């Protein structure tokens, strides 16, 4: 039985090496494989910073899954940002994507991990890298969470990166097609018929404009349509439901749910008045807001629902829903 709590490691691959922190929950069960979440931090942070900001370890303890937090190096980026805007770090088998894939392999080599329940979460620069990682390694990751991030390959240089943060990236339909093309090597190894995605963004985010949340949804809608066509499903369609509510902590939100039949495929949360900060954090700080809906709990709930509709997570936030409407 692995010891609960923090451990550390270093992953080495074609793109170099990075350290990581691993959280083993107190509820880890030795007789069965555990889900694994990879969480990519924003600029300037590390593993324990991200754990404190998100409160994800508490959700893991409640639900019995592993959480791995790769750490960017200041040698690779002075501000400790993942290099999502650099073409050297946007493809399979190279750069930071290759290292992050190796982090998963290393955790799987040391712990019993369910290969069908490996999930990916990113915030800010980590979210932009997560978009790239999910497309380049769909054989590893089963679902994706983007918090204050950007679409796949939103930029190919530093100036383009800043422009995307302020005004959005290229045409998301075009980027959705490119993301699907990037998936080909991965889906040749393991079929991935859909990539479920949940998005969180604050309406008052002055670092990454909320237009990026719209683009992420549009991009992954196109990518999922391409995946459907690849496997001969010509009837791909999603139904959108909009729910307005108020979180226990006080912030209002709008939740857009995109269903493919009875299965959740995409979900977007816009949190009213939230800046560039993690919603529903257990501790208030510059990059953490205690007043919004619990993003970590909702992300885990979405992953459970998208992986298996019968799953019953123990951490869903009890936000108060006010009204809803459904559209095609």
83-118 residue pLDDT tens: 999 999 999 999 999 999 999 999 999 999 999 999
The predicted model gives 154-173 an average pLDDT of 97
* Beta-carbon-side half-sphere exposure of residue 34 (alpha carbons within 13 Å): 30
pLDDT of residue 183: 97
Burial annotation 161-187 (CB, 10 A radius, 16+ → b, else e): beebbeebbbebeebbbbbbebbeebb
Which CATH number is 5-327's, of 3.30.70.1560, 3.30.870.10, 1.20.1300.10, 3.40.50.1820?
Answer: 3.40.50.1820
Are the CB atoms for 71 and 18 separated by under 8 Å? Answer: yes
Distance CA 32, CA 41 (A): 28
Helical H segments across 55-157, by residue range = 56-63, 95-110, 125-136
pLDDT of residue 1: 55
Torsion of CA 170, 171, 176, 182, to 10 degrees: -40
pLDDT of residue 308: 57
pLDDT of residue 4: 82
Distance CA 285, CA 245 (A): 24
The helix (run of H) or strand (run of E) holding residue 22 is strand 16-24
Domain boundaries along the sequence of the chain? 5-327
Torsion of CA 242, 53, 135, 111, to 10 degrees: -120
Distance CA 101, CA 119 (A): 12
pLDDT tier, 2 (very low <50, low <70, confident <90, very high otherwise): low
Coil vs helix vs strand at 173: helix
Kindly tell me the burial class for residue 267, based on how many C-beta atoms sit within 10 Å of its own C-beta (0-12, 13-18, 19 or more). Answer: buried
pLDDT tier, 251 (very low <50, low <70, confident <90, very high otherwise): very high
pLDDT of residue 315: 43
Coil vs helix vs strand at 88: helix
The helix (run of H) or strand (run of E) holding residue 47 is helix 47-54
The predicted model gives 186-203 an average pLDDT of 96
The predicted model gives 198-203 an average pLDDT of 98
Percent over 70 (pLDDT), the chain: 92
Kindly tell me the burial class for residue 6, based on how many C-beta atoms sit within 10 Å of its own C-beta (0-12, 13-18, 19 or more). Answer: middle
Interhelix angle 95-110/125-136, rounded to 10 degrees, is 80
For residue 230, pLDDT beyond 90: yes
Residue in the structure block whose two tokens are 């093309």 = 181
pTM: 0.92
């Amino acid at each position: 039985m692995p010891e609960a709590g923090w451990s550390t490691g270093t992953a080495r691959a074609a793109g170099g090496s990075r350290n990581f922190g691993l959280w083993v929950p107190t509820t880890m069960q030795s007789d069965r494989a555990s889900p694994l979440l990879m969480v990519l931090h924003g600029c300037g942070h590390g593993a324990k910073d991200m754990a404190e900001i998100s409160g994800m370890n508490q959700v893991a303890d409640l639900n019995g899954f592993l959480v791995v937090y790769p750490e960017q190096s200041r040698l690779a980026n002075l501000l400790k940002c993942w290099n999502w805007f650099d073409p050297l770090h946007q493809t399979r088998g190279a750069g930071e994507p290759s290292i992050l894939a190796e982090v998963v392999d290393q955790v799987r080599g040391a712990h019993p991990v369910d290969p069908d329940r490996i999930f990916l979460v990113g915030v800010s620069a980590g979210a932009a890298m997560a978009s790239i990682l999910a497309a380049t390694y769909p054989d590893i990751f089963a679902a994706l969470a983007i918090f204050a991030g950007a679409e796949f390959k939103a930029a190919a240089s530093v100036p383009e990166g800043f422009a995307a943060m302020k005004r959005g990236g290229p045409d998301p339909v075009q980027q959705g097609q490119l993301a699907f093309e990037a998936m080909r090597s991965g889906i040749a190894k393991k079929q991935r018929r859909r990539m479920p995605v949940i998005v969180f963004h604050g309406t008052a985010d002055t670092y990454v404009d909320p237009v990026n949340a719209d683009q992420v949804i549009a991009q992954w809608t196109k990518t999922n349509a391409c995946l459907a066509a690849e496997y001969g499903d010509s009837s791909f369609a999603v139904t959108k439901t909009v729910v307005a509510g108020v979180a226990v902590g006080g912030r209002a939100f709008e939740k857009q749910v995109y269903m493919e039949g009875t299965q959740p495929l995409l979900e977007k949360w816009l949190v009213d008045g939230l800046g560039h900060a993690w919603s529903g954090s257990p501790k208030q700080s510059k990059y953490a807001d205690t007043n919004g809906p619990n993003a970590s709990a909702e992300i885990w709930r979405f992953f459970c629902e998208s992986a298996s509709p019968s799953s019953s997570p123990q951490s869903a936030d009890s936000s108060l829903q006010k009204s809803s409407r459904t559209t095609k």
